Structure 1
Amino acid sequence: MTDILMPKATAVWMVDNTSLTFEQIADFCGLHPLEVRGIADGDVARDIRGVDPITGGQLTREELDKAQADENYRMKAIVSRHAELLKQAKPAPRYTPVSRRQDRPDAIAWFVRNHPEVTDAQISKLLGTTKATIETVRNRTHWNSANIKPVDPVTLGLIGQLQLDEVVKKAAEKKAKDDAKRGGPTLQAADAPAEDAVVEEEFVPEERERRGAEPTAESVFGTRD
């Protein structure tokens, strides 16, 4: 497969302007021969305008003439400077100097203790370590567990402060979203009494003792004989 610009448009031009076979066009454009046949039949790339690869600097006239003279010949594209610029550069693997590799377990321990919301994958990518190492530090089964102390990775010079802040922020936002999906912590009803609260009994006034009949003058002073 050749990394050329606009492969289908180039194939359209070759189908219309050359005597190349479908296999030759497919090989040059990085397409399947059946796809090139579909272009020739008008079923594929119907609305795409052809692009001349010679004018575009991706193919020489000599290469095209050789291919048209020999159906077994496979054309070689000119490496396009623009195509190289459009390629996404893969980030180089993080390299940690040998003198600082022994500090990574300390940084891992710092993440485990202070930011448990940061995933192992994030720690691994940030510090250039493995998930297995992170697990041994977390479970204290690392060969050097006795000497591992949580230390800020920025202080150790393993990463920058902006990188750390960004990772912690993303991890916190993800945790908040996950908690929200799960409904969050259950809130206690406002009118429900706490378990250790003292429930005050309802006050019921005591029934007043019923007295006897009202006293009369005769009962107090007696009667005259």
Structure 2
Amino acid sequence: MSQPLMPKATAVWLVENTSLEFEQIAEFCGLHRLEVQGIADDEVAVGIQGIDPIANSQLTQAEIDRCQADPTARLKLLKLDLPQPSKRTKGPRYTPVAKRHDKPDGIAWVLRHHPELKDSQISKLIGTTKTTIQSIRDRSHWNMANIRPRDPVLLGLCSQVDLNAAVEKARKAAEKAGIAIPAPQFEEEAPSPLAGFGLSND
């Protein structure tokens, strides 16, 4: 059964302003009968200001009168037409403004280390657009010169759990379709200036 907002304060008001039975108030407010009796005896909810359920559109005076006339009747809470919080859509995740400039670095890292991921997976993982991903992939991004591949988990753009799940899903899909998983791309290290002399940097 639904309960009124701030049930204990509502119970205080009902005790002070009606002749309802303790049992009726207790059931309506989701309290134990002894708690309501304690409110009436000033042993419980001392100092709590009563809240008028009629003013808050949770009860009508007619409903209170009906239950006062019949001790076996039970108060019925009015249905409130309050807007319910909407569920989060499956769009790109929100990224704090302070971290948004790190997204291109995170995308570049994923493209290099996990080429098996689809653009749609990267978009959902990092909270970006397919256009941005493609511009980094083909190196046409406006800030390409300053993009440094960095782990999006360390950048706080996604969790390691989400990244692992996306990679696992992509690999299973590739195996099911019989598609070879591309090897991670790493930049080639510049040859050591001592290589021509049969020496190494060690």
TM-score calculated relative to the size of structure 1: 0.44
**Larger Cα-atom Rg:** 1
Larger RCO (alpha carbons 8 Å, 6+ apart): 2
